[in-house]
Structure formats: C-alpha cells, structure tokens
Structure 1
C-alpha cells in the first residue's frame, strides 16, 4: 500500500506471537530470547528495570511488533517514537522515502511517528500488554521489569495541544482508553489457553504506562522554549523528564576537527546549526534550574545525549537536502558531550545516552554511570534486534542497582579513547558497492556475497566452516576444487571476497585470504598427492605464459586429462607475481608451492624458453592459450624529467635484493596497488630518506586495496594528495594543486584544477601507470586486434584464430590475479566442454548460524572461520534489518531453504533493507509480496498475491507483468515453487493473513 504502514489488531498480534513461538520457537523472526534475572534488577523513576538498554525513539519503537521484538531480544527501556502535533498524512507528505541508510555510519531523514498520534498511543498500549504477557508466559522476566518512556516535541504549544496532551494523559494512565479495554478483553478471552499467564494477570495489568518523558525539540528551538516544556512536564504532568541535547553544544570547530581526525572529512555540514541551536552557556544554567525544580517536586531530571546531528546530502545518500547522522561517527561526539557535561556537573547530572552505542562500548558506557542507553543504528544492521541480546548480556553482570552519579574520570577516558578506537574510525577508503549485479530472485535468494564477488566463485563458506572446525585437509580439498593457486592467492590476492563479506556490517570482514593460506600451509603436504587428472578430454594444449593465468589454465586442463605444455620465457613461473611484486610481500618459495601442483599433474614446463609462433604451435597442439600478460611498460612524460617505470624498478628491486640507487628523495606517481608496492620498496632502498606518493585525488579515492594503502602509510610513505605533476626542476617535482569537485560517473569526485602549485623534493620519479597489452605480439601471430590494440575475442575468449585463446592481463589490461584465473577456468571449460570443477558446497547448521547472527566479534587468529555467517545457506539480512518485521522468512514444505516474502501492510518503505540485500535490488520492492487486500495490491507495483479464500486456497496473483487468479489444484501459470510458497503462507502462517 505504497509507503503507508498499518497497525495490526491486538488479537492478531497476540496470536502471531503465540503461534510463531509455539511452532517456530521464534518471535517476529528472532531466534534467541533474553531471560532477565531478578537479582540483576536496576531501578529508575521509582520502578524496576531489568536491563538499562532498549530502542531509541525511532523506527524500532513505533509499532507494537517493533517493541515486542526488541523486548524479546533483551530491551527493557523503551524510548517510544516521538509524537508531535504534525502527524499522519501531513507528516508523510514531508518525509521523503527511502529515509534510512545505515550500511556504515547511519543516516536518516525521518522525523517523528508516521502514525496519527492516537494510533501511536494505541500501538504503545498494545505493546505494553504484549510485553506483560510475554514476560509471564515465556518466563522472560518480571511483568514490571520494563519501562516505557514517551518522547514528545517539538514546542510548548504543540505539547499543550489537545492531541498531545491527551496522549500524555493516556500514557500516564490508559485504563479508560478503548484500546486498553480491548487488550484486556482479548487476553481474558484466551486465558484458558495460556500456560502461565492467568486471567488475574490480565486484570492486574496497570494503566500507569509511563511516568517519564524525553523532550525532543527542533533545531533552533530557543532555550526558554525548551525550559518551558520541561517545566510543564515536571510541574503540570508530574513526569520524570529528560531533555535531548544536540552535539551542536560542542561547537562547530570541535565537531569538525573530531570528525576529520577520525576520517569523516567527507561528511559535510556548516556552522549554521551550531550557531542557531541551544548554546552551551545557556544550557548549563538551564539544566541547573531544572535539576533544582525536579528535586523540589520529588522527580528526576536529566539530559538525553544526543538528539540529531544534521549533515548535508552530498552524494545522493537519501532523497533530501539534509539528513541526520548517527552510529559510529556520532559516538565520538556524543560521548565527548556526555563527558563535558559530566565534568560541568561533577557527575551529578543524570544522562540518558544514545549515539553510536553497541556491543563494543555498552559495558563501558553503563559502567561510567551513564544509563539508560538506547540504540538505533546498530539494530538497523544485519543481526537487527538480536544484537540487543549480546548488549544485555554484557551489562547484566555489572551489578548496578541505582544511579549514584557518573564516574567523570572514566567517562573522560572513554571519550578520549574514542579518538583512536578502530570501531569509530572510517576506513582509509570508502567502501565500494557490496551488491551483485544480479536482481534478487523471488525464490531461493540466498547467496554468499563473498562467493559471488570472487571471480572464480570459490566455495568460501564451505571451506571457512571446515577451517573453523580445524579440518584443514578437507578445507584445502574444497579450495583446490576451484583455486589453482592457493598459496599465491592466500598471500597477495586483493580479496574482493572480503569487501563483500556480510561481516563488514558487523565489525570486520572474515579474513578469507588468511584462512585460505592457513589451510594451504597446514594441509598441502598431505593433500598435494591427491591432485590427479580426471579424464574428461584428450586434447593437447600449449600455454604461452607462466603467470597466474597460464598456471591456472595448466592446472584446470591437466586435471581434466589434457596434455599440457607450458612455455615461460623467464626462468621461473609466476609472471608479474614473481618478477614484479616485491619479495617482502611474496617470495618464490611461496610461488613454488603452487608450481608443485602442475608438476604433480604432469604439466610439461619449458622455463627460460621463448614459445614458438602460434602458427608453429598449431601444428602440434589442438588448442593454444596465450597468457602473456600486459607486459608493455606504460609511461607518463613530464617536462624536464626522465621517469622510471614502476615495473622496471620493481623487477630490478627483486633481482638485486633491494639494492637500487634512487637518491634521498623518491616520488611515486600513482594510486594503485603497484604504486603502493613501489613506494614501500623504494622506502627500503639504501640511501632513501623520503618517499612521497603523489596523487591527484585524496587517498580515500585511490584505486589501491585499502590493506596495501594502510601498510604504505604505516611504513612511512608520505601521501601528497590533490597534486597533478607538471615538471621536474632543480630536484623538485612541480605539481598543480587540485580540488575535488562533484561526484562523477565513476562514483568519485571529479578533479578540478585549483589555485597555485606545490613543489615536492625528488631525486627520482617513478611512474606507476597502467601497463599496455602486447598488441604487436598479437598482430605478429595473426590475431585480429580492436581499436585499442586488444586481441578480439568472443565470449569464450577465443581469438580470431580458431582454437587460439587469449586470457589474463593481456586480454583486458592489468587486473587482479584471480581475474586471470577466472579467464583460465572459463577457457578450460570451453575446451573440455564441461565443468572442470565439482560442486563442493555444504549446507550449514541452521542453529549454529543463527547463534552467530547479531553477535559482534573480533578476528580470532587462525580461527576466523568460526565467524563466517554461512550466507549461502541462511542470509535473511532483509528480515533482520526491517524495523517493522515486514520481511518474513518462512518454511515452505519441500524446499531446503527458508523463503522470504514481503508483507506490504507492515512496510513504510524506509528502504533500510535495500542497503543490506546482496543483490542489486530492494527487497521491499522486489521480493514476492503479500497484500492485505485487492486495494492495497492495486496501490503497489510489486509482484505478489492477495489471498481471496483460505479454504479454497485461492489468491489473486501479479507475476511477470500479468495478473490472474490462482487456486490450488487448478491449472495455472503460477510456477510450482511460487504456488507452494503461497500455500505455505495459507497453511502455516495464517496469522499474517488476519490483518483487518
């Protein structure tokens, strides 16, 4: 129904929870319940509180099911989504969708509840009853072990309006509301069916829902207005009160400097809000007056840190001009403000905290005396609400019972530590897309992003699982199935798989490359002898070039039974890996291990031998593969300067054990991996004191792998950013100063010439620019080339000469080692006429995988396979990250994997699931959708269905651009899998259909 979410009746919610819990042992898709302990109970506002954590006022606290899911996972303090006088359709017209982007630091452009205020009130009261029921029925804690906290705004007139005033009064005591009576009646109706929750429990549910409020004001709200709202809530409404504070209290200069030092220099904001918002010098005396007033009234007063931090939309993150920042980038600001105010008040000011809290800092925050703590961004990431369980378990043993002031020294130390804590620092490079180019399928959408992102599609999840269990030999067998070079790729692969790993949304990607090498080192001696030829072809194949592509082609073909002869003009195999990549990164002993596999398979090697011409090879071989690499050196002419080519330098470096004369000052021009290798090698040359890496953009936009960039920086390479070289003069490289412009089609900011020049000391200038394919070689051997000088090839990489293939860097220009291996695999399969690899994927243990989800955990050396989330078997990212539970994982009889459907009436098109789906899709738009009725279906373009008759199992279906009626047992255009899915919804998930 477009972006309008609907509220479920209490009876539907109750039956949904009961049936799902009984049959699936889950609640709204959550697999782990948090059980509170009575002896760890805290107290606030005169009421008990089993854990000091919960959802912040936001997308995770506006519907009853959101609050239920949060409670089940461990929340006990609920800051309900803000209500204000503007609501419903009027508000919806002002909020652009999608409105949430939480894939790294968080952004949103939403405001307060999108419901009408009376609807919001009803949702909160329904949740109040459901949590009471679940606490007793499922033994999750005491029925009074949680608290609701209302959030109201944005000005005094609005708060005093009839709409908001009625809401406040009903939240203080809701016994006379229709929804309170309805909830009580429904619970009494089913009381005989409950195991633990009794009719007496239903009748004893108190109407006093909230006795506390958090004030949320708009940016620019005058201090006297804020104080007047607080006084009204304290004096007239008798509510314990928090006032939300903005990080703008820290001042523009502080915020800009802190974010810059942590790598968030690209986040744009100006001084406007810092000048227009509440000022620190006004805030402190106000808080002192309110503390005094609350004390006289016997109430508690405190501040909520923090409210929104507005930043500019610069790269189309969300469809608005301004958005609100949250998550890991907000933590260093929020905790600094908390520390500053605590020092001001000698620890006496109570602080309710939000702003980047998660499992990595929750224990420290609460230990300082800062609580309750509410979160949003962390539970909008994969793992979702389930992340709260880990947080609850971390704070439970702290033994805090009451607020006894804040440990100012510890809080200041926490704020200072955030300045260098990796958890809050932005990566040296902005992450590229983690999405596949494929659209999400309606059925069986699970795939491991790491495997899809690997050019040779290794069964990563399978060998990570085996490695994590210490089964290295089995893991290596899986690796060798598709990977011909486990030692080379385990050492220097740029591991695109890791950049796609779902763990990037948790903390750190699974160390796939290191794990591959671990398996190779531990099992190679035993497994090597098992590598044998399987007769699939009797072709005789010549391979020209012994780099990674040529070695891989020899491996795949020889294993398939081909007679393979490989020619390499150098004395050893490895190509650019051996000749050019510095030996401090990989040495020939490592490469020799992979070469042993070729010997094991009977490949004939002609090393130090220039291969015969293609015409000669064709006489003796059925097929010829040219894997000669892009060996023609590139150049960058500069005025008054004779530059060195990076590959020439690196080759000389390796041949001379690093003894290359370069002078004191070396400039490397470029920003790719070769540039990083060159700079690091130059730094090791005798006599070199300074190595400068010159690049026309900033390091964040360099094409180099982040790991290599970081190593270069750690080894003392000095980055000279935003410089374009012009000429060498008097031992100095003169460069034009550049500036970053708007984002271009590459996703990077374009470079524009700035003002002035800058000189960089340079005795030697080394140019790391793209190498060129050997056009002359192809022409000499009778191959057609295109206008770029590349050999013309078909989809199977066969050249214009039948039976002659071109693979590797020589086909496309310099690329990844594993890309050359992918070429080799494709050509081998074309020659053999069949798959040359087996399917070695294994199914994952569902329970083990669900236990890992939602748990933040750092890399454990040599055991990192245990962190793998087995996405190829269980993904459910879209299910986990949806605040409203609008994406549903269901079991369909006869299908091995759970299937995902989208429930239209629960969705408000926040767009959060789009960020985390590994496909080039948005699940809320692209997954098969369940509509509540025909009107809702008409209002949407999604493919999906409306159940027309449950008994007949009849539905109206929209599929592949057509609409028709489906009924079980009758001939239909609906594919069997889709029909089975709809039938499963009707038979096993009827509670989803009870919406009215």
Structure 2
C-alpha cells in the first residue's frame, strides 16, 4: 500500500456524510453527535467558540474528515496542521510515524499534503462545519475557530506558496475551492432540511483570523521575533508563538523525567542550549505584546511545541522523535507557570502538552485556554473522548477576560509532580497483544482471553457483565466452568488477562482478578447450596493425581466433575500446596484456600494426605490406569557466597507461616536476595517479624528490570521495604553482606538490561540473608520414574495432552513448565483431563448472548473519573462483542465498519491512510489493520501499488471487481459464482457496492 493520502472532493465528502447518517445515524464513525450549550461562548480574536477545546496541530487536523469528526464530538477550536515550504512527497516522514501506547511519540511535524491541497482541506472542512452546525442543530454556525499554524523560518514563510496560503485562509471567497464548495452545496440543497440558498450565500469565507507560529528547535530568538512581527504587522493576524519545555533548562527537565519514572527517555542538553532561553523569551514576548496592542490584535504563547528525545529503543524509525502525552504534561504546566509568573497572570496561553479529561478542569480553572489535545485522541475512544472533555468545560463558568490564577497553577505544577497519573510504571511494559494474527473477517476478540491473556480461556467479559448486573451466582458459574480455584485465582493469580485489557488505554486495566474474587465471595455459599454432586460413571478408569497443589486440585476437580474416579495424593497434612504452605497468610487466608479445596472435594475427588504417594508401579497395582504428576517446583537454587550461608526462601516462608510470624530468630536486619515474586513475599514477611528494624531486598538489576510482578513491587514498597538495587552479593561475614556494585549494560533477549560488574564493593547490614534466586523442579524424581526430560530438566511430553513417554502418565504445572503460575497450572490440568475424558467446560459460555452492540459502543470514549464512579466490572468494553479499536484510533477514518448481513466487519480504505501505524499499536492481534484488513482501493494503480488483500470496484453497476486474496489476483463478477473466494468477502464487496457506495467516489 501507499502512504499517500488522497483527499476526498467536496461532493464526495458531503455525499458520504449525508448517506452515512441516513443509513446508520453516524458520520465518519461518530455515533454520538455533540450539541453545544447555546448559552456558553468564549470570545477570542473577535470570534466566538462554544467550547474552548479541540484538536492540536497534528494528525487530527490534516484532512477535512478529521476536522469534521472532531467538531461532531465537541471541538470548537481547531489548530490546523502546520504548513511549511517543504511539503507533500518532498517531506521526509518515516513511517510508521506515531507511537501512542502510553506517552506519545511522533516523527511527523507538518502536513504531508502539498500546501495548496492542505489549504483546500481546511476550506472544505470550514464550509462543511458551517453546514453541519445548522443542519443538525449542533451549535452556532459561528461558534468555532480555525487557527492556522505555520513554520519554520521567515524565509520559508515569505515564499509565495506560504504567503498565498495565509492570505487565502483569511479570505477564501475568490478561490476555486470556495466556488466549488458553494456550487456543490447548491446542487445538494434538496438533500438538506435546514439549509437554503440564502444561508449558503452568507457563509463567512474568512476561514482564519489567527495563527500559531511553530518553530523548529534551535530557531534563534531574533528569528522568532521577526516572524511574529511579520505575522502581526504585515499579515494582521492574531498570533501565538509556541514555547518549548526547553525554557525550563536541561537540569529541571532531566530531573523531572527521572523522578516521574521516565528516566529511560534519552536526551542531551543541545536543544536546551540552542533553543530560546527564558531570559530572552520574556523581553521578546513583552515587545510582541506591545506591538500586538498597537495593531489592535491579540498575542499570546502556545505551550508547548514538543519535546525532542532520542530514538533509543526502535520506538519509531529515525534518530529523533517528539514526545507528547502524559509525560509532557508536568513539563508543559511548569512552562505555563514560569511564563505566567513573569507576566503577572496576564499572558494569554493556548495550551497543549498532555491535556486530557483528568486535567482539563484544572487547566481551565487556572485560566488556561484554548486547550488542544492530541495524544489522548490517538487512543481507543479517540474523537469521542472530546465530548466528555467538552461537557466538563461547559459545566464551568466561562471567563470574560484573560487572567491566570497563579496559586492554582502552582497547585497544578505540584500535582503533576506527585500524582500517580503522571508517573511511569516501575516495570518494563508487557505487550498488550495476543499471539494470533488478525483475520480478514470477524476479528472481534477479547484479548483478555487470547493467547498470552488467560491461559484457560476464561470467559472474562461474561462474568464481568454478570457482576456489573449484580448477578454474582451467574458470574461464579461462568468462572468455575473453567476455573476450579476462584478464591485462589481471585486473590493471587498473576492475572495476565489484565496486561491485555483494552481498558488500559483509557485510565487503566480493569481489576479482573478483583471482580472474580467479588463474585466468589458473594456467591460461593449459594453455589455450594445449588450444585448437584456428579454421578459416578460406571466402569470408568481410575486416575491418581500426585500433588495436592493448584495443579493437582484442578485436575481432580475437572475429572471428578465428569464422574471420573480420581484420588489426589498429597504428602503434607493439608491440601493446597504453596497456597497453604508457602504463600504468606496476609496474602491469602487459609479459609479462602479451603473453599477452593472444598469445591474439588464436593465434586467427589478423594484426598489422601500426610504421606508420600505410592510409586508408579504401586499406583498401577492399585488399579489406577492414569497417573497425573502435579508436583511443584520445591527445589531451591543456591546463592553462592564466598563466605557465609543464606537460608532457603521456601523454608523461610514455610517456617514463618507455620509460626504465624509470632517469633523472630533471624535478627534485626534481614536481607532478601532476589527480584521475583518469591523474593517479594520473603521481604514482606521479614518486614512484619517482631523486632526487625530493616528488611532489605538486594538485586543485581534495578526495579524496572526485576522479574517480579509490578503490583508485588508496589506492595513491598508500601510495606517499607528497602530496595538496594544494582548489587550482587559476594560474601556474608560478621553480620555484613558484601556486594559488588553493578551497572546496567545492553538489553538481553528478555528486554532487560544486563547487569555488569564495576569492581566496586559495598556492605549491607545483615543478620540473616534469605536466598530467593529461583526454584527448580525435582528432575531426578521424574527420571527415576522413567519419564524423559530435556536438557533443562523439564519433562518431555505431547504439547496438547501433556502425556509423557509413559502411556497414560502426565506431568502438569511446574514439572511441565518450570515454576508456573496458578492459572497456567489450571491450564495444564485441563489439557491432561481432556485427554482422559470429555470435559464439558463450555456450558457457561455467555460472551455473545443477548448483548446489544449499542451498549459496549456507548462506553467508547468515556473515561472513568471520580465524578462518574463507574464500577470495575462495568468498565469492561466487551471487546468480544465489539472491538473497533482500529476504527476509533485512525485519525483519518481509514478503517470503517461495514455491516454485512447484520454483522459488523472492518474494512480498510487505502486512499485515506498515511501509514501512521496507530491502528497497529491498539489492535489486540499481532497484526496491523492498515496492512492486514480487507482493503478498498479507489483506483487501479493504487490496487497494484499494494500487497494488501482487498478489491477495486471496476464497474459498480456490473459488480465487476479486481480482487486480491492471498497471492491470487483476478477480476471477478459478483453476480457470478466465485467458489475460490470466501463467501464472507464476496458479501462484503457486494455490500459496499450496494450500501456503502459513498466510499467509492473520488
């Protein structure tokens, strides 16, 4: 495919809008049209805007349809994308050019269209908004403002091309595109209900009366002032100049980023040295304000341009990118405060830089407006997020003059430095994508269930929906259908599902694990009272399960539920494995573990505790046809010290659990060595022991590169644990642990940076050292049984059944994977049980039953705030019913929903795509919709200039199409049988021709 966007003509644009709205009540995918409050307006530049918010100069103000979608959702101030002399194909923009998974990055800075084409897009958008505002009664036709943006030096701005652009934006009445807009609208008058010829004749052709000067980093102060004076005195434009975070100085920016956890961002001080300095900015702005007053124009600053950082981890192609979003906010508000102080709160500030629903109220109440947004619109919900922002702003009192509230700005700067919203996770991010590839059709999927999400494919959306409706028993039935351990997994599951949750791109992942526990606690007694004991199958073969931990209990539950005779052998007096013997009681109570044990017992599994299981031969002699080994990783890796010894982490945890942490034989200073979840358990236990003055954790990497789950790290920090990072223990002597100081080198295959020795040493007080450097399985035991193992000591088995080289002998859990999570143990138990008998664990699949698609769609773009108080379960976006993230996040609306035989399908439109890559970021699959979805081409050359699977309509009337499916390219007629092409694709093509013909026009 090509990254060249092909703008839509005004005729095709209006036809698209009218036809799509007539068909589905949507316009460019926008489902909720925003109607402005007629009693609320703000005056700026002698113009009026109904809401002081809109898209920043960038991907959302490049094409007419982008601006239209933004208006329809509540925008009334539009900072148009920057124009410059280098444009179109001459502009070197590497693709993909956007990365906005968390904080935002981009490598594009001005319009990718030729300047005359960009001008036409802005005029078309202006004209269409004049029509839509009246036709759909969305607000005053004069209730919005277009703000130009130009760059990057005076010589370029004075070229005829840019001068013509500026002049024609101020008065478009004599330009061909204005005449074309008028003529097209006149032809379409019969299709409008509230537009007539008089209205068309009076549409204001003065598209823009204001401009924002965007300067490249390193532009000298004198050059900035010359450009601004040119715009004020020669072009008579109300003018903003962009000011960058470099005004704060390198030390402030570096320290702030480090303190907030963005220490991995790499930048040096050259921009800070080369850019406009604060001591030069204040007198320059003073002079320009005076000149603007002389010209009877408005003057202010735009905060902030961007913040340049190095491309150090292949985030985007190239060497330098521009950072935005939540990481930019603390710097941007600090610039706003610094300049506001200098001008005693009387400087007009147009703001961008991390603005979103969580800070918009504070910004506006501090006197900062208009406010433009970008990064938040690149995430799921996209344009629809503006509606919530607009509603918040219109609920506030609009000011009558510019006046910054300096104390509130002070508070905002302080909040930005300490609020969790602006702090980066202390752990390396986990990919939100599932392993599956994107299908051409029916791609809706809940990534929380997919590969890498829930190993047991738990129907998460169903039980979240039931809990949101207060139907706890129904929710618990869905859970236990596949999950025999609702209390254990509801409390200490590693919850990989949450790393895939689409809601993480709003305000954070849903607490899926917590909702599971909520269902279990509410409905367990009712479930036990209403369940019926399974009937034992006659003549069914017997199964022995060796090990009564999570894996063994799960296998026993699943088999017993099917009426299979099963006995679980556990050498400890208590079932539960690590959950009852190792995991600290403050993490999960024995009462909770017991409830899960009782579920398995209720199903009819027999328990044999307190002695080692019989040998394999003895089990066979006792009539057990099948044997499942479900033993945990109880062997301990040793911490090698030149002097002294460390104690075993598992022994430490077992002893303190049995003792209920009432005694402390370990001393005042306990040091735990390790960085995994077991290490976190150990050090948190140590911190609770009586008489302990300090519990420390020593690890050879830093927190970001520790293997422990993020929440485990935070829990340890909350408990007051001392983290001693970048230390590698060497010896223990005289209650002092000697450690070599390490430094981080290059990244290894896991993405973690390698610890490198420095030759420097330090000591740590240590009465006791606990070694938590990992656990292993008892390979020797399996080998004695006759089970084959690999070079790593893991059991060799058939992947889908986990049957070993010994017939009817299975190994699950830690023995199969090495140290495994609880939910992985359940997944293994399910595989083995399914091989032994038919497992009916799909009886409670509820995902797509009776779900009105309008319900999940209504949640799109709605952020959960303290004010709306949406519950955890109700936050679910129900992705298995409706996903459409690629539709949401495309600024250009190049991915659309096509309803084919009542089912929504995603189609990509080649001409509207610039390959920004944003849909790839947020697609749950390991794929890129702009490359991998079925694509509509609007010309034959575009079709052949692409490798996308898709089609070009050669003759709509005859339904003749050029199609590419896989490697096959052929011309087909949809009226004829095409056996080698999937019917779903044929139906989509025919549907586009019949019902979405507006997508075909130029």
TM-score (norm 1): 0.98
Q: Give the aligned partner of residue 395 of structure 2.
A: 397
Among 591, 594, 597, the residue aligned to 2:596? 594
Q: Give the aligned partner of residue 699 of structure 1.
A: 703
Q: 1 CA distance for matches of 2:869 and 2:29? A: 32
Contact 2:943 2:952 survives alignment (8 Å): yes
Alignment of 1:526-565 (within 5 A): 526-531=526-531, 532-533=533-534, 538-565=540-567
Among 622, 627, 633, the residue aligned to 1:624? 627
Q: Does 1:809 align with 2:814?
A: yes
Alignment of 1:738-887 (within 5 A): 738-795=742-799, 796-833=801-838, 835-838=840-843, 840-843=845-848, 844-858=851-865, 863-887=871-895
Report SS of the residue matched to 1:451. coil
How far the C-alpha of 1:839 sits from its partner, in A, is 5.2
Among 315, 318, 328, the residue aligned to 2:316? 318
Q: Give the aligned partner of residue 343 of structure 2.
A: 345
Alignment of 1:229-244 (within 5 A): 229-244=227-242
How far the C-alpha of 1:742 sits from its partner, in A, is 2.3
Q: 2 CA distance for matches of 1:886 and 1:349? A: 39
Q: Give the aligned partner of residue 938 of structure 1.
A: 944
Cα shift readout 1:390-422 (whole Å, capped 9, x = no counterpart): 000000021214333111111111111111111
Cα shift readout 1:644-692 (whole Å, capped 9, x = no counterpart): 1111100001011112421111111111110100110011112211111
Contact 1:268 1:314 survives alignment (8 Å): yes
How far the C-alpha of 1:754 sits from its partner, in A, is 2.7
Contact 1:662 1:687 survives alignment (8 Å): no
Contact 2:959 2:975 survives alignment (8 Å): no
Q: Does 1:655 align with 2:655?
A: no
Q: Does 1:478 align with 2:482?
A: no
Q: Give the aligned partner of residue 737 of structure 2.
A: 733
Q: Give the aligned partner of residue 502 of structure 1.
A: 502
| Distance 1:22-1:354 versus aligned 2 partners, 3 A rule | same
Report SS of the residue matched to 1:98. coil
> Which deviates further from its counterpart, 192-201 or 702-711?
192-201
How far the C-alpha of 1:755 sits from its partner, in A, is 4.8
How far the C-alpha of 1:438 sits from its partner, in A, is 1.2
Q: 2 CA distance for matches of 1:756 and 1:779? A: 43
Cα shift readout 1:127-164 (whole Å, capped 9, x = no counterpart): 00111111001111010110100000100111111000
Q: 1 CA distance for matches of 2:428 and 2:215? A: 33
How far the C-alpha of 1:861 sits from its partner, in A, is 8.6
> Which deviates further from its counterpart, 512-521 or 397-406?
397-406
Report SS of the residue matched to 1:31. coil
Q: 2 CA distance for matches of 1:736 and 1:660? A: 29
Q: 1 CA distance for matches of 2:580 and 2:968? A: 57
Contact 1:773 1:812 survives alignment (8 Å): no
Q: Does 1:716 align with 2:714?
A: no
Q: Give the aligned partner of residue 371 of structure 1.
A: 369
- The alignment of Structure 1 onto Structure 2 pairs a total of residues equal to 991
Q: 1 CA distance for matches of 2:356 and 2:627? A: 57
How far the C-alpha of 1:290 sits from its partner, in A, is 0.7
Report SS of the residue matched to 1:449. coil
Q: Does 1:191 align with 2:189?
A: yes
Among 201, 204, 208, the residue aligned to 2:202? 204
Contact 2:847 2:880 survives alignment (8 Å): no
Contact 2:463 2:476 survives alignment (8 Å): yes
Q: 2 CA distance for matches of 1:533 and 1:434? A: 39
Q: Give the aligned partner of residue 993 of structure 2.
A: 986
Q: Give the aligned partner of residue 14 of structure 1.
A: 14
How far the C-alpha of 1:786 sits from its partner, in A, is 2.2
Q: Give the aligned partner of residue 444 of structure 2.
A: 446
Report SS of the residue matched to 2:172. coil
How far the C-alpha of 1:944 sits from its partner, in A, is 1.0
Q: 2 CA distance for matches of 1:448 and 1:474? A: 20
Q: 2 CA distance for matches of 1:789 and 1:56? A: 57
Contact 1:957 1:965 survives alignment (8 Å): yes
Q: 1 CA distance for matches of 2:359 and 2:870? A: 25
Cα shift readout 1:337-395 (whole Å, capped 9, x = no counterpart): 10111111110100000000000011111111100000100000011111001000000
Cα shift readout 1:261-285 (whole Å, capped 9, x = no counterpart): 1111111111110011000000000
Q: Give the aligned partner of residue 971 of structure 2.
A: 965
Output the aligned Cα RMSD: 1.4
Among 576, 579, 582, the residue aligned to 1:577? 579
Q: Give the aligned partner of residue 683 of structure 2.
A: 679
How far the C-alpha of 1:744 sits from its partner, in A, is 2.5
Contact 1:518 1:862 survives alignment (8 Å): no
Cα shift readout 1:572-596 (whole Å, capped 9, x = no counterpart): 1110111111111012100011111
How far the C-alpha of 1:862 sits from its partner, in A, is 9.6
How far the C-alpha of 1:291 sits from its partner, in A, is 0.8
Contact 1:549 1:808 survives alignment (8 Å): yes
How far the C-alpha of 1:943 sits from its partner, in A, is 1.1
How far the C-alpha of 1:956 sits from its partner, in A, is 1.1
Gaps of 5+ in 1: none
Q: 2 CA distance for matches of 1:276 and 1:863? A: 49
Q: 1 CA distance for matches of 2:467 and 2:844? A: 18
Q: 2 CA distance for matches of 1:70 and 1:348? A: 30
Report SS of the residue matched to 1:639. coil
Q: Give the aligned partner of residue 428 of structure 2.
A: 430
Alignment of 1:404-423 (within 5 A): 404-423=402-421
Report SS of the residue matched to 1:398. coil
> Which deviates further from its counterpart, 195-204 or 502-511?
195-204
Q: 2 CA distance for matches of 1:12 and 1:314? A: 43
| Distance 1:678-1:497 versus aligned 2 partners, 3 A rule | same
Cα shift readout 1:461-497 (whole Å, capped 9, x = no counterpart): 0110110111111111111111110000001111111
Alignment of 1:84-95 (within 5 A): 84-91=84-91, 94-95=92-93
Contact 1:315 1:743 survives alignment (8 Å): no
Q: Does 1:974 align with 2:981?
A: yes
Q: 2 CA distance for matches of 1:752 and 1:870? A: 45
Q: 2 CA distance for matches of 1:288 and 1:536? A: 90
How far the C-alpha of 1:746 sits from its partner, in A, is 1.3
How far the C-alpha of 1:788 sits from its partner, in A, is 2.3
Q: 1 CA distance for matches of 2:587 and 2:389? A: 40
Q: 2 CA distance for matches of 1:187 and 1:82? A: 28
Q: Give the aligned partner of residue 457 of structure 2.
A: 457
Report SS of the residue matched to 2:395. helix
How far the C-alpha of 1:308 sits from its partner, in A, is 1.1
> Which deviates further from its counterpart, 210-219 or 716-725?
716-725
Report SS of the residue matched to 2:276. coil
How far the C-alpha of 1:894 sits from its partner, in A, is 4.8
